[in-house]
A and B are shown apart, each in its own frame.
Chain A
Amino acid sequence: KMSRYDRAITVFSPDGHLFQVEYAQEAVKKGATAVGVRGKDIVVLGVEKKSVAQLQEERTVRKICTIDDHVCMAFAGLTADARVIVNKARIECQSHRLTVEDPVTVEYITRYIATVKQRYTQSNGRRPFGLSALIVGFDYDGTPHLYQTDPSGTYHAWKANAIGRSAKTVREFLEENYNADTAASEVETVKLTIKALLEVVQSGSKSMEIAVMRRNHPLQILESAEVEKVVAEIEKQKEEEAEKKQKKMKKSS
Chain B
Amino acid sequence: MKYFSHAQFIYQQFPSLKTFIEKLFILNFRILTQYMNMALADICKLNFSSKSSLTKLPSNEEVFNAEAQDCFSIPTAPQAASYLSHLSKPDSDVHIKFNHGTTTLAFKFQHGVVVATDSRATAGDYIASQTVKKVIEINPYLLGTMAGGAADCSFWERVLAKQCRVYELRNKERISVAAASKVLANMVYNYKGMGLSMGTMICGWDKRGPGLYYVDSDGQRLNGSMFAVGSGATYAYGVMDAGYSNDMCVEDALALGKRAIYHATHRDAYSGGFVNLYHMKESGWEHISWTDVKDLHYAYKNEKK
Give residues in A with beta carbon < 8 Å to B: 99-102, 105, 108
Contact = CB atoms under 8 A, between A and B. Distances in A.
Contacts of B176: 100-102
A136 to B, nearest CB: 19
B186 interface: yes
Contacts of A108: 171
A99 to B, nearest CB: 6
Contacts of B150: none
B183 interface: yes
B178 interface: yes
B182 interface: yes
Contacts of B182: 99-101
A165 B175 CA distance: 41
Interface of B: 171, 176, 178-179, 182-183, 186
Nearest to A98: B182
Among A100, A105, A108, residue most surrounded by chain B Cβ atoms (within 10 Å): A100
A105 B167 CA distance: 13
A135 B236 CA distance: 52
Contacts of A99: 179, 182-183, 186
Contacts of B186: 99
A105 B170 CA distance: 12
Contacts of B171: 105, 108
Nearest to A111: B170
Contacts of B179: 99-102
Given A99-B186, A100-B178, A101-B179, 10 more contacts: A99-B179, A99-B182, A99-B183, A100-B179, A100-B182, A101-B178, A102-B176, A102-B178, A102-B179, A105-B171
Contacts of A102: 176, 178-179
Contacts of B178: 100-102
17 contacts: A99-B179, A99-B182, A99-B183, A99-B186, A100-B176, A100-B178, A100-B179, A100-B182, A101-B176, A101-B178, A101-B179, A101-B182, A102-B176, A102-B178, A102-B179, A105-B171, A108-B171
Contacts of A105: 171
A102 B173 CA distance: 13
A140 to B, nearest CB: 9
B201 to A, nearest CB: 17
A100 B178 CA distance: 7
B277 to A, nearest CB: 29
A116 B179 CA distance: 23
Nearest to A140: B207
Nearest to B172: A107
B204 to A, nearest CB: 14
A152 to B, nearest CB: 20
B169 to A, nearest CB: 13
B223 to A, nearest CB: 10
A99 B179 CA distance: 6
A102 B178 CA distance: 9
A100 B186 CA distance: 11
Nearest to B208: A102
A172 B186 CA distance: 49
Contacts of B183: 99
| Nearest 4 CB-CB pairings of A with B | A100-B179, A101-B178, A99-B182, A101-B179
A233 B149 CA distance: 72
A10 B171 CA distance: 29
A101 B183 CA distance: 11
A142 to B, nearest CB: 13
Nearest to B182: A99
A99 B186 CA distance: 8
A108 B171 CA distance: 7
Nearest to B207: A141
A105 B179 CA distance: 14
Nearest to A141: B207
Nearest to B173: A105
B172 to A, nearest CB: 8
A105 B207 CA distance: 14
B156 to A, nearest CB: 17
A101 B182 CA distance: 8
A108 B170 CA distance: 9
A138 to B, nearest CB: 16
A105 B171 CA distance: 9
A99 B171 CA distance: 15
Nearest to B180: A100
A108 B183 CA distance: 18
B182 to A, nearest CB: 6
A108 B179 CA distance: 15
A75 to B, nearest CB: 25
Nearest to B177: A101
A102 B180 CA distance: 12
A108 B176 CA distance: 15
B183 to A, nearest CB: 7
A63 B186 CA distance: 37
Nearest to B167: A100
Nearest to A108: B171
